[in-house]
């Protein structure tokens, strides 16, 4: 009798332990899955906000260099044509407002000049985005609209006349746009996000109760500073009832526990938190416990049946059961490892695609914008022949962007290069068309010493390398008064040697051995450090070589060696 009691007690313990283990393993797995999913969603949303901020910043940069805007600043007043032009930009960009201020902070042209709440004549000199822009900074700021009381991001940049900033161009994007656009991203409907500044004030959130609240209680002095800046129009910033746990990865808010993942916003002090709720007892949890209970119960019944009928095989069955449990455990571990590798591969591919898009597409698009603006001015002056030439150049850039997009589409797949004998001079000229606006804006002079020779390359990829090297050279000469870019070519032993030499400060000695490594960059404000690494891989795929050193006459020299004809295997 006592043996029966002990046996059934053991069965009960087995059932309880099995269910407890199933509960704990399921809880940990669901929590880990939630963390991975939250991290992916945070990165996706941060990349979207980054791209929108970058797009608006480029629009403001383009407007600050517009001839119409500069002429308006020079005259001190605006015509209806200028207001219509800003209205067209506002409509096309999806911004809330676009307006132009003189050096005193008074609005002289605005996209909403026909509306009752037109900004024209208003003075915004007290706004930080004006104060910083008039000093020469490129600004991304957040504030409540003085009239609309709507939250918005302000992108501003000074308008220089004869080298001196005489006004400021401003683009405002409503904060609600970023909150509603979250719905079209691949993020969970139940997830919450907050974007906050250095004061820990929530600027964006899809939870209205968290908007314009602080993540933690603000000191009284900090509250006074915010009041005096009028950034939030004298609004009191209350704290959210949050408790952060587990090394900044768990947050409890409004009696709900969340998994939290962080992501920075490029070129700003803003930070993004993505919060996914943790369900204490999910449907998956209940299903697994039910399955585990049934399995354990059947196992107990089977063991009891076999112990009675087949006593001699108890040890064998026990060994078999143990072996099956070990196999099942190893199978689960292998499946989890495989899932981790797949997730890592996806994240790596997304990073590479993002870097490639920024690296390969933005420059042709910027060139098209510059040529389009020039074409408008030529048409206005009646110079149709020159305008048609610009349109032909734009068409050529569009075809190039299509070609680049086709390459990016198959980025993750292994494919052969489209190798052929291409004209070296033509490839260089094509690359200069793309990077020409940037060179002109920085007043970089070009000196070419070339020879009419063919090289064995994939023309599109080779031109991408040239665009990257020319753009890097331009950035290296930003602080130089004499900005000269030399492009020289020579042949020797059936090879072509192409040198790209700038007049910058050169490459620091400690960086010479690391400059081609992935993610190595000396540009702290922008860039992922992939451009030179990708360029070197492209040149090596042509059976060529890309190297860098400091030129004896000063500046950096990048040397490319290529074959004139298809090399023998």
> Which of 29-38, 230-239, 283-292, 515-524 is predicted with the least confidence, judged by mean pLDDT?
515-524
Return the C-alpha torsion angle 204, 206, 208, 210, nearest 10.
Answer: -60
Please tell me whether residues 73 and 111 are part of one structural domain: yes
pLDDT, tens only, 297-319: 888 788 878 877 766 667 777 77
Please tell me whether residues 171 and 51 are part of one structural domain: yes
Domain boundary among 392, 415, 438: 415
Domain membership of residue 324 as a residue range: 310-354
In a domain, 305, yes or no: no
In a domain, 568, yes or no: no
82 vs 362, residue with greater confidence: 82
- Nearest alpha-carbon partner for 347 in 41, 55, 51: 41
What's the CA gap between 322 and 268, in Å, rounded? 56
Residues in the chain: 569
What's the CA gap between 367 and 438, in Å, rounded? 8
Q: What is the pLDDT of residue 521?
A: 63
Q: What is the pLDDT of residue 125?
A: 92
Give me the helices (H) in 183-250, please.
220-229
What's the CA gap between 47 and 351, in Å, rounded? 10
Please tell me whether residues 434 and 398 are part of one structural domain: no
CA distances from 337 to 25, 38, 284, 325, 564 (A): 16, 19, 21, 18, 47
DSSP 8-state assignment for residue 172: E
DSSP, collapsed to helix, strand or coil, labels residue 121 as coil
What's the CA gap between 12 and 45, in Å, rounded? 49
pLDDT, tens only, 246-259: 556 778 777 778 88
Mean of all residue pLDDT scores within the chain: 82
Please tell me whether residues 432 and 390 are part of one structural domain: no
Flag whether pLDDT at 192 surpasses 70: yes
What's the CA gap between 8 and 301, in Å, rounded? 11
Please tell me whether residues 544 and 434 are part of one structural domain: yes
CATH code (residue 10): 3.30.450.20
Please tell me whether residues 123 and 168 are part of one structural domain: yes
Please tell me whether residues 341 and 408 are part of one structural domain: no
Q: What is the pLDDT of residue 530?
A: 63
In a domain, 569, yes or no: no
Tokens matching residue 292: 């585990």
**How buried is residue 543: exposed, middle or buried, by Cβ count under 10 Å (0-12/13-18/19+)?**
middle
In which residue are the tokens 């052929």 written? 420
Mean pLDDT of 186-191: 64
In a domain, 114, yes or no: yes
Please tell me whether residues 395 and 477 are part of one structural domain: no
Q: What is the pLDDT of residue 337?
A: 57
Give the total number of structural domains in the chain: 4
Side-by-side strand order, sheet with 556-563: 445-449, 484-492, 495-502, 556-563, 545-550
DSSP, collapsed to helix, strand or coil, labels residue 238 as coil
- Nearest alpha-carbon partner for 248 in 239, 259, 237: 259
pLDDT, tens only, 458-496: 998 898 899 889 988 998 898 888 999 999 999 998 899
Tokens matching residue 409: 């589409």
3-state secondary structure 347-402: HHHHHHHHHHHHHHCHHHHHHHHHHHHHHHHHHHCCCHHHHHHHHHHHHHHHHHHH
- Nearest alpha-carbon partner for 278 in 29, 452, 450, 555: 29
Please tell me whether residues 125 and 197 are part of one structural domain: yes
The model's confidence at residue 432, banded by pLDDT at 50, 70 and 90, is confident
CATH code (residue 431): 3.30.565.10
Domain boundary among 399, 415, 431: 415
Helices 384-409, 314-360: inter-axial angle, 10-degree rounding = 170
What's the CA gap between 344 and 72, in Å, rounded? 52
Please tell me whether residues 2 and 141 are part of one structural domain: yes
DSSP, collapsed to helix, strand or coil, labels residue 458 as coil
pLDDT, tens only, 157-182: 999 998 899 999 999 999 888 888 76
Q: What is the pLDDT of residue 444?
A: 93
Please tell me whether residues 223 and 203 are part of one structural domain: yes
Q: Which helix (H) or strand (E) covers residue 436, if one does? A: helix 424-441
Q: Give percent above pLDDT 70 in the chain.
A: 85
Structural Rg of the chain based on CA atoms: 31
In a domain, 5, yes or no: yes
Mean pLDDT of 47-71: 93
In which residue are the tokens 């000093």 written? 135
Please tell me whether residues 347 and 446 are part of one structural domain: no
Q: What is the pLDDT of residue 187?
A: 56
In a domain, 304, yes or no: no
DSSP, collapsed to helix, strand or coil, labels residue 61 as helix
**How buried is residue 556: exposed, middle or buried, by Cβ count under 10 Å (0-12/13-18/19+)?**
buried
Q: What is the pLDDT of residue 484?
A: 94
Q: What is the pLDDT of residue 69?
A: 94
Tokens matching residue 455: 């090289």
Q: What is the pLDDT of residue 355?
A: 42
> Which of 150-154, 421-425, 530-534, 535-539 is predicted with the least confidence, judged by mean pLDDT?
530-534
Flag whether pLDDT at 385 surpasses 80: yes
């Amino acid at each position: 009798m006592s043996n029966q009691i002990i046996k059934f007690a053991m069965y009960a313990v087995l059932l309880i332990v099995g269910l407890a283990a199933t509960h704990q393993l399921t809880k940990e797995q669901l929590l880990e899955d939630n963390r991975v999913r939250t991290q992916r969603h945070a990165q996706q949303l941060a990349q979207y906000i980054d791209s929108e901020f970058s797009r608006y910043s480029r629009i403001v940069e383009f407007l600050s260099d517009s001839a119409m805007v500069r002429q308006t600043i020079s005259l001190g007043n605006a015509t209806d044509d200028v207001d219509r032009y800003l209205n067209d930009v506002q409509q096309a960009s999806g911004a809330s407002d676009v307006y132009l201020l003189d050096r005193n902070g008074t609005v002289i042209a605005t996209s909403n000049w026909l509306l009752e709440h037109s900004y024209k004549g208003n003075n915004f000199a007290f706004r930080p985005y004006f104060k910083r822009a008039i000093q020469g900074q490129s600004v991304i700021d957040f504030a409540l609209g003085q009239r609309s009381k709507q939250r918005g991001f302000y992108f501003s940049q000074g308008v220089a006349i004869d080298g001196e900033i005489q006004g400021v161009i401003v683009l405002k994007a409503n904060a609600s746009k970023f909150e509603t656009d979250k719905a079209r991203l691949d993020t969970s409907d139940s997830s919450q996000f907050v974007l906050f500044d250095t004061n820990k004030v929530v600027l964006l959130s899809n939870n209205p109760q968290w908007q314009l609240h602080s993540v933690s209680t603000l000191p009284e002095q900090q509250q006074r500073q915010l009041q005096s800046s009028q950034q939030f129009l004298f609004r009191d910033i209350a704290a959210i009832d949050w408790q952060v746990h587990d090394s900044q990865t768990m947050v409890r808010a409004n009696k709900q526990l969340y998994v939290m993942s962080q992501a920075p916003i490029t070129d700003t002090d803003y930070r993004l938190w993505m919060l996914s709720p943790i369900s204490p007892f999910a449907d998956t949890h209940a299903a697994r416990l039910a399955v585990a209970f049934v399995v354990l119960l059947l196992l107990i019944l089977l063991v009891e049946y076999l112990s009675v009928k087949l006593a001699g095989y108890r040890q064998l069955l026990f060994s078999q059961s143990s072996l099956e449990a070990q196999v099942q455990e190893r199978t689960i571990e292998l499946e989890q490892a495989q899932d981790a590798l797949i997730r890592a591969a996806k994240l790596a591919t997304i990073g590479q695609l993002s870097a490639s898009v920024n690296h390969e597409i933005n420059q042709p698009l910027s060139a098209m914008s510059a040529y389009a603006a020039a074409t408008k001015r030529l048409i206005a002056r009646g110079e149709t022949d020159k305008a048609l030439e610009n349109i032909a150049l734009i068409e050529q850039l569009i075809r190039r962007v299509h070609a680049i997009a086709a390459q990016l589409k198959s980025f993750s797949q292994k494919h052969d290069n489209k190798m052929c004998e291409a004209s070296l001079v033509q490839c260089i000229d094509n690359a200069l068309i793309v990077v020409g606006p940037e060179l002109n804006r920085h007043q970089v002079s070009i000196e070419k010493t070339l020879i009419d020779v063919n090289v064995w390359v994939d023309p599109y990829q080779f031109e991408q390398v040239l665009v990257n090297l020319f753009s890097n050279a331009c950035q290296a000469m930003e602080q130089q008064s004499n900005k000269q870019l030399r492009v020289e070519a020579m042949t020797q032993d059936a090879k072509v040697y192409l040198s790209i030499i700038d007049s910058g400060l050169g490459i620091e000695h400690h960086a010479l051995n690391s400059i081609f490594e992935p993610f190595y960059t000396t540009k702290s404000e922008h860039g992922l450090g992939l451009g030179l690494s990708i360029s070197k891989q492209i040149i090596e795929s042509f059976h060529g070589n890309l190297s860098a050193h400091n030129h004896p006459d000063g500046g950096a020299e990048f040397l490319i060696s290529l074959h004139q004809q298809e090399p023998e295997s």
